[in-house]
Amino acid sequence: MATIVTFAEVREGKVRRPSLEAVSEARRLAGSLGATVQSVLIGQGVAPLAAEVASYGADRVHVFDDAELASYATESYARALAQVITQEKPGVVLLPYTAMGKDVAPRVAARVGAGLVSDVVKLEVKDGRLEARRPVYAGKALATVRWEGEPQMATLRPNVFALGTPEAARKYETVTGSADVSTRRARVQSVQAAGAGKVELTEAQIIVSGGRGLKGPENFHLVEELAAALGAAVGASRAVVDAGWVDHQMQVGQTGKTVSPTLYVAAGISGAIQHLAGMSSSKVIVAINKDADAPIFKVADYGIVGDVFEILPKLAAAAKEFRSGRH
């Protein structure tokens, strides 16, 4: 019987949501392919997380639980994953396109000689084979890709594949994996967390981004306050990142992050082509700009021609009231 293998990424003792999206997608594909779903958990003290992974659709969970695996190291994690692939000979391997998934997937692909397709936003089964869709040029175009041979390996963009409904009573089996983890020529020494409660752009449901219309870094707090009121992540245009107003980690667009949130609010962003590329796959886009001819309105669903200095504080206050009224 065909097999789909997924990588379940663990950080700070929790399975990260993009990996659960990957298990959910594997479960959906398993129906069309008549396949079983197997997931791989790697880390220290991760064994108790198998039940959660299984609840989203894994029939078998391979657990590599070892003190030596406590901190992430590409080589040892790749070796564990490659071992499961060599042993189970899956037709499909899915990983999340996260910092860790992006780092480990190519290493595994080269190790097992698999074709790897990155940052996939859609998977379909056609004649028993997979077909993937992925944005290229940061979303200026969409490529359709197929594999030759197996395994068909892909990394999935976070926030795009729907999370399944977990079934706590799902039956699954656990397999204890062991891999040679002695070679780790590169490894994590320490982790410096960013500000507490900060929402990661690529995984955020709502993003509020600011651009040059804010006029200066001293006004960027208006964007941050609206984001806080909406429970959103904060983004920025390349112009203000290059001007040094905010950290480059916040840049949305080509040479920054490509995002697909449910709601994207662009404040004082005119909409250069490289910015539009990175956010135009958002479900709903709101543009606030004083220039009615700004290109951002061409991709927006709702547009407000107005002064960001007037609109943003009013919107933040109203959003805060709206949200508190609902909870």
Partner 1 sequence: MKIIVCVKQVPDTEARIRVAPDGKGIAEGELNWIVSPYDEFAIEEGLRIKEKKGGEVVLVTLGPDRAQSALRSGLAMGADSALHLKDSSFEQLDTLGTAWALAAAIRPLAPDLILTGQQGVGGDHSQIPGLLAEILDLPQVTMAVKMEVGEAKATVEREIEGAHEVWETSLPAVISAQKGLNEPRYASLKGIMAAKKKTIEVRDAAALGLKPEDLKPKTKVVGLELPAARPGVKMIPGDADAQVKELLRLLHEEAKVL
Subset of 4-43 contacting partner 1 (CB under 8 A): none
Binding of residue 89 to partner 1 (CB under 8 A): no
Please pick, from the candidates 193, 218, 293, 324, the single residue that binds partner 1 as defined by CB under 8 A. Answer: 193
Q: What angle do CA 220, 222, 224 make, to 5 degrees?
A: 75
Q: What angle do CA 320, 326, 327 make, to 5 degrees?
A: 95
Task: Write the DSSP string, 269-311.
Answer: ----HHHHHHHTTSSEEEEEES-TT-THHHH-SEEEES-HHHH
Binding of residue 106 to partner 1 (CB under 8 A): yes
Please pick, from the candidates 175, 200, 228, 290, the single residue that binds partner 1 as defined by CB under 8 A. Answer: 200
Please pick, from the candidates 254, 260, 270, 289, the single residue that binds partner 1 as defined by CB under 8 A. Answer: 254
Please pick, from the candidates 185, 218, 293, 324, the single residue that binds partner 1 as defined by CB under 8 A. Answer: 185
Please pick, from the candidates 182, 194, 218, 293, the single residue that binds partner 1 as defined by CB under 8 A. Answer: 194
Check if the beta carbon of residue 130 is closer than 8 Å to that of residue 147. yes
Footprint on residues 300-319 left by partner 1 (CB under 8 A): 300-307, 310-311, 314-315, 318-319
CB closer to partner 1 out of 127 and 148: 148
Nearest approach, Cβ of residue 163 and partner 1 (Å): 17
Binding of residue 287 to partner 1 (CB under 8 A): yes
Nearest to 283 by CA among 302, 306, 268: 302
Nearest approach, Cβ of residue 309 and partner 1 (Å): 10
CB closer to partner 1 out of 47 and 304: 304
Please pick, from the candidates 190, 218, 293, 327, the single residue that binds partner 1 as defined by CB under 8 A. Answer: 190
Q: What angle do CA 53, 201, 21 make, to 5 degrees?
A: 20
Size of the site for partner 1 (CB under 8 A): 98
Span from 39-47, 57-65, 87-95, 114-122 in contact with partner 1 (CB under 8 A): 114-122
Binding of residue 70 to partner 1 (CB under 8 A): no
**What dihedral angle (degrees, nearest 10) is formed by the CA atoms of 20, 25, 30, 31?**
120
Binding of residue 113 to partner 1 (CB under 8 A): yes
Binding of residue 55 to partner 1 (CB under 8 A): no
Task: Write the DSSP string, 107-119.
Answer: HHHHHHT-EEEEE
Binding of residue 87 to partner 1 (CB under 8 A): no
Neighbour count for residue 217 (Cβ, 10 Å): 13
Binding of residue 162 to partner 1 (CB under 8 A): no
Place of tokens 């920025």: 236
Nearest to 8 by CA among 101, 84, 71, 73: 101
